[in-house]
Amino acid sequence: MTTMTSFYIVLLTILFYFIASGLIAYRLKISAHRQPKTVILVISLIALTLHLYSLSNDIITTAGFNLSLFNTLSASMLIISLLTITAFLMRPLELFAMLVLPVSASSLLLAWMFPSSRLLPLDSPAGLKIHVLISIIAYSLMALATLHAIFLSVQNRHLHNHQTGGIIRLLPPLQEMEKLLFEIILVGFVLLSAALSSGFIFLENLFQQHLVHKTLLSILAWFLYAVLLLGHWLLGWRGRTAVRWTIGGFACLMLAYIGSKFVLEFILQ
C-alpha cells in the first residue's frame, strides 16, 4: 500500500469516527431513547473496519510484526472502541462511545504521523505471538476499566452532592456502572494473568536490564487488581476505593507497556 493510499485511508477512517461521534452527540441532544442506533452502528463499524485494515498494513510487514509504540496504542484503541460499541448495543453508554471514538481516530493518526519500528520476527514461536496478543487485549481492557472508573468517580461525587443534572443523567445507574466496572476488571485480570504466565513460559529474558522494569511493574499491577477484586468480593469495596485501586493498577500497566516502549523507541532508540 502506497504512502498516499495509506494517508487517504487514515483520513477516511478519521472522518467516519468523527461522524459516528457526532451522531451519538446528536442522539444524546435529541433523545437517547427515541433515536435508533442503526446508523451509528453502521458508521462505527465502517470506521473500525478501515482502522483494522490500515493498522494491519502498518503492523504486518515483510520484516516482521511492527509493534511500535503508536501501532500498539492504535491497536489498543481499536479494541477499546470495538468493546465500547458492542456495549453500546446493550447499555446506555452513548457518552463513553462519543468520547472513545475520536481518541481512537487520534491514535491512528499518530501511528501514521510518527512511524517507528519495533519488530517481532514473522517466524517467532506461536506462544510468543499469543503472549503479545493477550497482553495488548489485557492492557486495552484495563484502559477501558480506568476510563469507566473515572466516569464512576464523577457520577459518585455528583450524586453525593445531590447534583443529578448534566452528564450524570446520560450515564447508567450507579449500581450498574459499578457492576460493569468489576466485570471489565475481572476479564482484564484473567487476561493479564494469562499474559504474565505466557511471558514466563515463552520469554527467557524477562528480568534482563531492558525488560526488568516492565516485568516488575506488570506484576505490581496484577497484585493491585488482585487485591481490588478480593476486597470487592470479601469486604464489599466499591465507590472511591474501587476507583483508586483501578487507577493505581493501570498507572503501573501504563508505565510498564507505554513507558518502556517510549524510552526504548524515542529516548534510547
Helices (H) and strands (E) in the chain, counts: 9, 3
- Kindly give the confidence (pLDDT) of every residue in the chain, 269 residues in length, as a single tens digit, with 9 standing for 90 and above: 556 668 899 999 999 999 999 999 888 877 655 567 889 999 999 999 999 999 999 898 888 899 888 999 999 999 999 999 998 888 888 888 999 999 999 999 999 988 878 888 888 888 888 989 999 999 999 999 999 999 999 888 877 776 666 667 778 888 889 999 999 999 999 999 999 998 888 776 655 656 677 888 899 999 999 999 999 999 999 888 999 999 999 999 998 888 777 666 666 55
Strand order in the sheet with 64-66: 60-61, 64-66, 119-120
Contact 84, 96 (CB under 8 A): yes
pLDDT at 2: 53
Q: CA dihedral defined by 45, 143, 77, 79, rounded to 10 degrees? A: -50
Distance from the Cα of residue 240 to its chain's centroid: 22
- Residue 239's SS3 state is helix
What's the rounded Cα separation, in Å, for the pair 198 and 78?
23
Q: How far is CA 238 from CA 88, 108, 139, in A?
A: 23, 35, 22
Specify the residue for cell string 466496572.
181
Rounded to whole angstroms, the Cα distance separating 144 from 149 reads 9
The reported pTM is: 0.89
Cβ count within 10 A of residue 16: 22
Q: Which amino acid is at 224?
A: L
Strands (E), the chain: 60-61, 64-66, 119-120
